[in-house]
Copies of this chain bind each other. A is one copy, B any other.
């Protein structure tokens, strides 16, 4: 948190660029201090933040009601209102999340691969914090606490810019975070919530490459594309999840059916939900009518290629655009393909590099799919719905990266750190 309540109210009068410079400088100073902080102190801060939130549930809910009221008055839609609301259950989830992150192992300081070189020096790599992380997100105020917890545990300072409609909620949470940090003797600037709705603050954040090491945008495609286009700071981003399941000629039909139904219908709105089903043509006649019946039960609309439509009369014809669409809805595109090569070619052309799975009993095909499909998660005989930081054992995640540099797939504590070289000698010279 930055500035008193009075200062915040005067924010419109402030020079936003100057304010953001101050935020950036304070974050950089906090990050320098955090490198030397013990794990126990970081955990104590996480626990204190939870205590403070528990103590101030009433104030937090009141602030959230204020945001909700304004949002309703501004005519925001019900999906957005739902994301904005801090129900008692969501506040409980934040507390659970803080305890979970406190329980995670501290990645910072671990030294790996320490090997002796011919010169006699020992060379290894130490995991260290990234530094200062900027997070730009939309309406969900619980992100404020979740992101703060992960950044802090990994030893980073963070600058959080939430949705303007959630500002009261975020500032109430920021007060708890600041108090929790102070309780544990950590710099309050470790976690700063940008205390203005002014959009100039986002522009300033994206330009502060002297203070920020990385920016993580969390939200819809529009937000992410704006961030990529304008940022001078490196970005870790999550774009579309156009996920595929390919049912290989050597698939076990029952397993294929179970995985396909689960990957599509367990949840519709998640990025790791299957959006396109590829069925090997040798199995299409046997499998597609069965699958169509299962999807019909669940109310999933099918959009098929010509061969699919011939086998499934209820399917309507898919358009070219369907193959690259992330529906996030009970809609599925279905294509018959002639073998592994054709399946991989379809994924390469229309996929988004998020998560793709093959169902097969053929070892060679499994190995080729794993190696050649260029996605952040590639799976054999498992539902795409497993592409998730918790399922992968990361303990928590700040998002899923569809980038290639630095970190790919679910981003947990390790993704918020980096490696530096350490060299130990006894006086060696060259």
Which residues of A come within 8 Å of B, CB atoms?
32, 35-36, 109, 115, 117, 119, 121, 123, 126, 128, 130-131, 213-214, 234, 252, 255, 258-259, 261-263, 266, 348, 357, 368, 370-372, 374-383, 385-387, 391-393, 404-406, 408-410, 418-430
Contacts and interface: CB of A to CB of B under 8 A. Distances in A.
Contact of A429 (B383, B409, B429): B383
Interface majority SS on A: helix, strand, loop or mixed?
mixed
Minimum-distance CB pairs A-B, first 10: A382-B425, A262-B429, A255-B427, A379-B423, A406-B406, A377-B421, A381-B425, A409-B421, A385-B430, A383-B429
A420 B409 contact: yes
User: This chain: how many copies in the complex?
Assistant: 2
A420 B393 contact: no
A430 B406 CA distance: 29
Contacts of A380: 422-425
Contacts of A35: 371-372, 374
B126 A371 contact: yes
Contact of A386 (B393, B419, B428): B428
Which of A117, A130, A408, A429 gathers most chain B CB within 10 Å? A429
A146 to B, nearest CB: 21
A375 B425 contact: no
A376 B419 CA distance: 8
A266 B119 CA distance: 15
A39 to B, nearest CB: 12
A127 to B, nearest CB: 11
B117 A392 contact: yes
A123 B405 contact: no
5 contacts: A36-B368, A121-B382, A213-B404, A376-B421, A378-B421
Given A117-B392, A371-B109, A419 B425 contact: no
A254 to B, nearest CB: 8
Contacts of A422: 370, 377-380
A301 to B, nearest CB: 21
Contacts of A375: 420
A421 B252 CA distance: 24
A410 B371 CA distance: 27
A378 B418 contact: no
Contact of A408 (B261, B409, B420, B430): B420
Contacts of A382: 121, 423-425, 427-429
Contacts of A368: 36
A348 to B, nearest CB: 6
